[in-house]
Amino acid sequence: MRRALELARRGPEHDPNPRVGCVLLRPDEDDDGPATTIGEGWHRGAGTPHAEVAALADAAERGQDTRGATAVVTLEPCAHTGRTGACTQALLAAGVRRVVVAVEDPNPVAAGGAAVLRAAGVVVETGVLADEGRTVLGAWLPTVGRDRPFVTLKTATSLDGRVAAADGSSRWITSDVARRHAHELRAEVDAIVVGTGTALRDDPSLTARTADGSLAEHQPLRVVVGRREVPAGARLRGPGGELVALATHDPASVLDDLRARGVRRVLVEGGPTLAAAFLRAGLVDEVHAYVAPVLLGSGPAALADLGITTIADAVRLEPVSVLPLGPDVLVVATPLREA
């Protein structure tokens, strides 16, 4: 399984489909003894063969007989036919007699492969190195089967909740350590979203950068929400991800558009009005709050009006983790949903 996970990591991280690896083993005469690898494969991106099919093709190229083989795969083989055929049928046709799986498929469209295989007499074992498997699946896992991308709201504030001083200056509230971590977060998402107010006031580049300040290999879409145009000389039009201007103020419409573009994970960076709009719409799945030990006493707050007039209606969050970052702290939390 560790080899299958290694193969899975070769797949594209920012792809609509999950990263999956597969190893085919031919058992020796003694089933309890060592096994020989007869084929390997991984999913190379949407529209290409799935890992199991790629491993079967590799075995064929090696001239290996797959009858009676064991397939070790990082995600449960799919049971449906989409742009490619069902992996369960490919495994059955190849005569595979045992399948070992790390993570069961949560996708209601593709799930059920293990049941199909068992019904055909194949021995199926699940949950092998499942935690490692979920780590490799990364951002695909929390977004699968959803009708919209996963949304992370990011804030960077003083201890008293300000995003800038009274004169509008905000560089830099948080430390270098916190900002480097924020760039790592940017490199993990498919799109960064800001409002036109932030784009015009702060002139951000919205790029993901490495520790030495150079552009990271992956650059998310840079999405500006609102009806005002981004100036020709804005840094958003410089090097980095594609600039997407959406002339709307409706968070649901924004996510619909991004989903159609294949976006699975969105980072909302501001400003306060846009952040409040996503929260009021119930479209925030996770909050990343970078907090610096700085007091300003005045200046814009992290959030605009949420329409809350009493403490009973407050948006409550459940802390997930607290991470020290130099002098600052990152609090990761998820909004509590009403039952």
Do residues 163 and 97 share a domain? no
Whether residue 269 lies in the annotated active site: no
Query: Does the pLDDT at position 124 exceed 90?
Result: yes
Q: What is the pLDDT of residue 293?
A: 95
Residues in the chain: 339
Q: Count other Cβ atoms within 10 Å, centred on residue 181.
A: 19
Query: Does the pLDDT at position 110 exceed 80?
Result: no
Q: What is the pLDDT of residue 34?
A: 67
Q: What is the CATH number of the domain that holds 35?
A: 3.40.140.10
Looking at residues 164-177, what average pLDDT do you find? 88
Do residues 209 and 325 share a domain? yes
b/e burial code for range 103-140 (CB count within 10 A of at least 16 → b): bebebeebbbbbebbeeeebebeeebbeebbbebbbbb
- Residues in contact with 37: Cβ distance below 8 Å, sequence separation at least 6, in sequence order: 3, 23, 24, 25, 26
> What is the β-pairing status of strands 317-325 and 328-335?
antiparallel
Q: From CA 328, how far away is CA 176, in angstroms rounded?
A: 10
Query: Does the pLDDT at position 333 exceed 80?
Result: yes
Q: From CA 302, how far away is CA 306, in angstroms rounded?
A: 11
Query: Does the pLDDT at position 157 exceed 60?
Result: yes
Q: Domain span at residue 97?
A: 2-143
Q: What is the pLDDT of residue 31?
A: 53
Rounded to the nearest 5°, which phi and psi values hold at 99? Answer: -130, 130
Query: Does the pLDDT at position 231 exceed 90?
Result: yes
Query: Does the pLDDT at position 136 exceed 80?
Result: yes
Q: Domain boundary at 90, 115, 143, which? A: 143
Least confident window among 64-73, 80-89, 98-107, 129-138: 80-89
Q: What is the pLDDT of residue 29?
A: 45
Query: Does the pLDDT at position 269 exceed 70?
Result: yes
Least confident window among 106-120, 134-148, 163-177, 279-293: 134-148
Q: What is the pLDDT of residue 339?
A: 44
Kindly state the percentage of the chain with pLDDT values over 90: 70
Do residues 205 and 279 share a domain? yes
Do residues 114 and 156 share a domain? no
Q: How confident is the model at residue 79 (pLDDT cuts 50, 70, 90)?
A: confident
Do residues 183 and 211 share a domain? yes
C-alpha 138: how far from chain center: 6
Q: Domain boundary at 127, 143, 159, which? A: 143
Query: Does the pLDDT at position 30 exceed 60?
Result: no
Do residues 166 and 135 share a domain? no
Q: From CA 47, how far away is CA 248, in angstroms rounded?
A: 32
Do residues 275 and 178 share a domain? yes
pTM: 0.72
* 3-state DSSP assignment of residue 253: helix
Do residues 174 and 33 share a domain? no
Q: From CA 86, how far away is CA 201, in angstroms rounded?
A: 51
Query: Does the pLDDT at position 192 exceed 90?
Result: yes
Q: From CA 155, how far away is CA 189, in angstroms rounded?
A: 16
Q: What is the CATH number of the domain that holds 199?
A: 3.40.430.10
Give me the catalytic one of 6, 13, 40, 52: 52
Q: How confident is the model at residue 59 (pLDDT cuts 50, 70, 90)?
A: very high
What is Dmax (Cα atoms) for the chain? Answer: 77
Do residues 96 and 157 share a domain? no
173 near 158, Cβ under 8 Å? Answer: yes
Q: From CA 117, how far away is CA 93, in angstroms rounded?
A: 11
Looking at residues 159-186, what average pLDDT do you find? 90
Q: Domain boundary at 143, 173, 200, which? A: 143
Q: What is the pLDDT of residue 171?
A: 80
Q: Count other Cβ atoms within 10 Å, centred on residue 288.
A: 21
Least confident window among 98-107, 142-151, 316-325: 142-151
Please give the tally of structural domains in the chain. 2
218 near 207, Cβ under 8 Å? Answer: no
Q: Count other Cβ atoms within 10 Å, centred on residue 243.
A: 16
Do residues 156 and 136 share a domain? no
Do residues 182 and 92 share a domain? no
Looking at residues 43-69, what average pLDDT do you find? 93
Q: What is the pLDDT of residue 143?
A: 74
Do residues 290 and 168 share a domain? yes
State pLDDT tens for residues 233-251: 999 999 999 999 999 989 9
Q: From CA 11, how far away is CA 7, in angstroms rounded?
A: 8
Query: Does the pLDDT at position 317 exceed 50?
Result: yes
